[in-house]
Copies of this chain bind each other. A is one copy, B any other.
């Protein structure tokens, strides 16, 4: 789906969920939805501060937190101590490059042995994380 359509849908859903649709929230959502690299709050702020007047790092943090609460964005599981976000909220998985740290989406839902999980609890969703070397880094290694 193209970006502007997703932004329009975002406005509708946000309003329906009781969130006010402010220019800052639109900007944050558009920024995160247009990227596939799962940016942190800081990175989104860096991208926006030139383009959008009246945006602060605090607002980016608060917007991400609000959107996460209502399920319009998701956190990405990582090993690092910085929180990263993803505007794709439907099930999918991630590939983390061990060299450059970039995180890629992969359209995969892991198949796991149900019995093993149920010995621990009742699963709601499963996602995979693959570590490896991405194509870009591989080609630089020549």
Q: Which residues of A contact B (CB under 8 A)?
A: 75-83, 93, 95, 97-98, 104, 106-108, 110-113, 116-117, 119-135, 137-138
For the complex, give the distance between the alpha carbons of A132 and B130 in Å.
21
Decide if the interface of chain A is mainly helix, strand, loop or mixed.
strand
User: How many chain copies does the complex carry?
Assistant: 2
Residues of B within 8 A of A116 (CB): 106-108
Are the C-beta atoms of A95 and B123 separated by less than 8 Å? yes
For the complex, give the distance between the alpha carbons of A82 and B78 in Å.
10
Q: Please, could you name 15 A-B residue pairs with CB atoms under 8 Å apart, sorted by A?
A: A77-B77, A77-B129, A80-B83, A97-B121, A98-B124, A107-B116, A110-B110, A110-B111, A110-B112, A121-B134, A123-B132, A124-B130, A124-B131, A124-B132, A125-B131
Are the C-beta atoms of A120 and B138 separated by less than 8 Å? no
Are the C-beta atoms of B132 and A129 separated by less than 8 Å? no
Are the C-beta atoms of A126 and B130 separated by less than 8 Å? yes
Residues of B within 8 A of A97 (CB): 121
Residues of B within 8 A of A95 (CB): 117, 120-121, 123
Are the C-beta atoms of A122 and B138 separated by less than 8 Å? yes
Are the C-beta atoms of A138 and B113 separated by less than 8 Å? no
CB distance from A116 to the nearest CB of B (A): 5
Residue of B nearest to A132 (CB): B123
Residues of B within 8 A of A120 (CB): 95, 104, 106, 134-135
